[in-house]
């Protein structure tokens, strides 16, 4: 075993579950699993604009939004809820027009015609500008607003998480600040303890949880299925789910778990990426992560009798493993976290439902990483539905293969001697090996924008 593997978070601790309590797991899930209307990158821009507009009582002379490269990449092509048009500048204008930051990631839900009209007027008047910030931080947004008379100004900073406003300044005076480190690897002592847990201990902890404090996770099934139904009912967005349903809907094809999972997952993504004005349950700051972590399980519950308690625990395991893996690859990454992290969580949860065997759960995780580790994130867009469909069907098949004793052996590509080492290696690929990928995607997007 290499020194790098020895230094990873793979260390096994006897009785390690004692270091993270059920209460702390519940708090973590409540922090990371929440409703979001629209893609979370432009929504985060809208949230910053809403907050800074509140500070100046919605007096908008000029609004400049600075964003990190990853925020720009993921907000470039995705449609916004209600308006079904794309653009970070439009997201900022809509956020400023609404000016209700208390809505959080739902700041763009059910926009009124007056709000949309005001936003478009501000765009046409040239009051809204979006700029790139040169930074290695993944989630960083700075919104600076001058009043119409330019006698006052305010600045709001979002950092670390899409809905974490860490500083609010008005006329040079700091009104609000959030001191906890939100950089990659930051967080509370309890949160860090969770991310250091061996996977087997995490599975054991989830298996023993009282499900009732986590019953809110079931809301994600309702929300995301509602979005999926829109995508499956008509050729919304890319039309992936509608085409799949037409292909497999007859002769009982959608009674196959893999086909149903991929169709439902694609349907939710089709509708969300097209700007359908409905919320989804997000996971670790991403609506598409929430869709991919939840919808394969929603398909499983639809086809297989599953107790309410087991549904909650399976959802918890899926969300937690999504967060666990994203702690290594980055909250926003050059890798497709929906396909790699969220779908891995779903596959592991299905393996747990079928067997309750931590070894088989580990095998599902290892196999998913070995299979989908090359899936690149080239921004949020209509085409995400195809990636999510691939990831969902792979999650189902991988869980089944793990039950059949299939496990990619150590030394094959990224696969290490332990599941923790494998996840650590995936993190190295993301953080070190993919450094240029985001820059190349941004160049391609800039070239397209210039015609």
pLDDT at 426: 96
For the segment 194-210, the average pLDDT, to the nearest whole number, is 93
**Are residues 372 and 421 located together in one domain of the fold?**
yes
Task: Decide if 71 is inside a domain.
Answer: yes
Where residue 179 falls among pLDDT bands split at 50, 70, 90?
low
**Are residues 13 and 144 located together in one domain of the fold?**
no
Total of domains in the chain: 2
Give residue 73's domain range: 39-177
**Percent of the chain residues past pLDDT 70, beyond the cut:** 93
Task: Decide if 16 is inside a domain.
Answer: yes
One-letter-per-residue 3-state SS of the chain: CCHHHHCCCCCCCCCHHHHCCHHHHHHHHHHHCCEEECCHHHHHHHHHHHHHHHHCCCCCCEEEEEECHHHHHHHCCCECCCCCCECHHHHHHHHHHHCCHHHHHHCCCCCCHHHHHHHHHHHHCCCEEEEECCCCCCCEEEEEEECCCCCCEEEEEEECCCCCEEEEEECCEEEEECCCCCCCCCCCHHHHHHHCCCHHHHHHHHHCCCCHHHHHHHHHHHHHHHHHHHHHHCCCCCCHHHHHHHHHCHHHHHHCHHHHHHHHHHHHHHHHHCCCCCEEECECCEHHHHHHHHHHHHHHHHHCCCCHHHHHHHHHHHHHHHHHHHHHHCCCCCECHHHHHHHHHHHHHHHHHHHCCHHHHHHHHHHHHHHHCCCECCCCCCCHHHHHHHHHHHHHHHHHHHHCCCCCCCCCCCCCCCHHHHHHHHHHHHHHHCCCHHHHHHHHHHHHHCC
Task: Decide if 451 is inside a domain.
Answer: no
Task: Decide if 127 is inside a domain.
Answer: yes
Residue 395 predicted with pLDDT over 90? yes
pLDDT digits (tens, 9 = 90+) for 60-74: 999 999 999 999 988
Residue 187 predicted with pLDDT over 80? no
pLDDT at 189: 57
**Are residues 130 and 238 located together in one domain of the fold?**
no
**Are residues 214 and 351 located together in one domain of the fold?**
yes
**Percent of the chain residues past pLDDT 90, beyond the cut:** 77
**Are residues 173 and 199 located together in one domain of the fold?**
no
Q: Which of 117, 151, 177 is the last residue of a domain?
A: 177
Q: Which of 115, 148, 177 is the last residue of a domain?
A: 177
**Are residues 199 and 73 located together in one domain of the fold?**
no
Task: Decide if 182 is inside a domain.
Answer: no
pLDDT at 132: 93
pLDDT at 183: 42
Residue 18 predicted with pLDDT over 60? no
**Are residues 408 and 277 located together in one domain of the fold?**
yes
**Are residues 16 and 54 located together in one domain of the fold?**
no
Q: What is the mean pLDDT of the chain?
A: 91
pLDDT at 190: 55
Task: Decide if 68 is inside a domain.
Answer: yes
Task: Decide if 435 is inside a domain.
Answer: yes
pLDDT at 7: 41
Task: Decide if 10 is inside a domain.
Answer: yes
For the segment 84-102, the average pLDDT, to the nearest whole number, is 94
CATH code of the domain in which 127 resides: 3.30.1330
Q: Give the Cα separation of 433 and 180 in Å (integer).
A: 29
**Are residues 135 and 191 located together in one domain of the fold?**
no
pLDDT at 182: 42
Q: Which of 119, 149, 177 is the last residue of a domain?
A: 177
**Are residues 49 and 196 located together in one domain of the fold?**
no
pLDDT at 370: 97
CATH code of the domain in which 363 resides: 1.10.4100
pLDDT digits (tens, 9 = 90+) for 206-260: 999 999 999 999 999 999 999 999 999 999 999 999 999 999 987 777 899 999 9
For the segment 129-139, the average pLDDT, to the nearest whole number, is 92
**Are residues 10 and 117 located together in one domain of the fold?**
no
Where residue 10 falls among pLDDT bands split at 50, 70, 90?
very low
Q: Which of 17-31, 73-87, 360-374 has the lowest mean pLDDT?
A: 17-31
What is the token pair recorded at 127? 């009051």
pLDDT digits (tens, 9 = 90+) for 344-375: 999 999 999 999 999 999 999 999 999 999 99
Where residue 6 falls among pLDDT bands split at 50, 70, 90?
very low
Residue 3 predicted with pLDDT over 50? no
**Are residues 364 and 244 located together in one domain of the fold?**
yes
Residue 1 predicted with pLDDT over 70? no
pLDDT at 16: 43
């Amino acid at each position: 075993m290499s020194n790098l593997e020895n230094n990873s978070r793979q260390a096994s601790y006897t009785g390690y579950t004692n270091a993270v309590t059920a209460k702390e797991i519940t708090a973590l899930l409540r922090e990371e699993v929440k409703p979001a209307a629209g893609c979370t990158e432009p929504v985060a821009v809208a949230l910053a604009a809403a907050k800074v507009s509140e500070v100046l009582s919605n007096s908008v002379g000029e609004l400049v939004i600075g964003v990190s490269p990853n925020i720009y990449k993921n907000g470039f092509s995705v449609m916004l809820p209600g308006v079904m048009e794309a653009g970070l500048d439009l997201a900022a204008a809509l956020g400023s027009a609404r000016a209700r930051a208390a809505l959080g990631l739902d700041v763009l839900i059910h926009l009124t015609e007056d709000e949309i009209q005001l936003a478009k007027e501000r765009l046409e008047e040239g009051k809204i500008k979006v700029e790139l910030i040169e930074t290695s931080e993944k989630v960083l947004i700075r919104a600076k607003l001058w009043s119409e008379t330019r006698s006052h100004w305010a600045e709001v900073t979002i950092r670390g998480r899409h809905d974490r406003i860490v500083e609010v300044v008005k006329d040079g005076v700091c009104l609000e600040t959030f001191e906890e480190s939100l950089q990659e690897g930051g967080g509370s002592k309890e949160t860090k303890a969770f991310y250091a847990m061996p996977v087997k201990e995490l599975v054991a902890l989830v298996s023993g949880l009282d499900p009732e404090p986590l019953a809110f996770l079931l809301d994600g099934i309702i929300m995301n299925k509602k979005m999926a139904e829109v995508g499956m009912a008509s050729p919304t967005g890319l039309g992936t789910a509608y085409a799949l349903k037409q292909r497999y809907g007859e002769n009982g094809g959608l009674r196959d778990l893999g086909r149903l999972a991929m169709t439902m997952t694609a349907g939710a993504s089709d509708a969300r990426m097209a700007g359908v004005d409905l919320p989804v349950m997000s996971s670790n700051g991403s609506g598409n992560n929430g869709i991919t972590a939840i919808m394969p399980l929603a398909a499983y519950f639809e086809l297989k009798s599953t107790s309410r308690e087991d549904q909650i625990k399976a959802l918890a395991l899926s969300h937690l493993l999504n967060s666990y893996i994203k702690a290594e690859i980055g909250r926003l990454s050059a890798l497709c976290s929906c396909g790699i992290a969220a779908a891995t969580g779903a596959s592991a949860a299905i393996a747990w439902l079928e067997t309750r065997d931590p070894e088989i759960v580990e095998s599902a995780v290892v196999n998913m990483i070995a299979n989908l580790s090359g899936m690149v994130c080239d921004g949020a867009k209509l085409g995400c539905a195809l990636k999510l469909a691939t990831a969902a069907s792979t999650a189902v098949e991988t869980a089944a293969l793990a039950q059949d004793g299939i496990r990619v052996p150590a030394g094959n590509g990224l696969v290490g001697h332990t599941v923790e080492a494998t996840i650590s290696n995936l993190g190295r690929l993301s953080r070190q090996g993919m450094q240029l990928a985001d820059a190349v995607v941004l160049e391609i997007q800039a070239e397209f924008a210039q015609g």
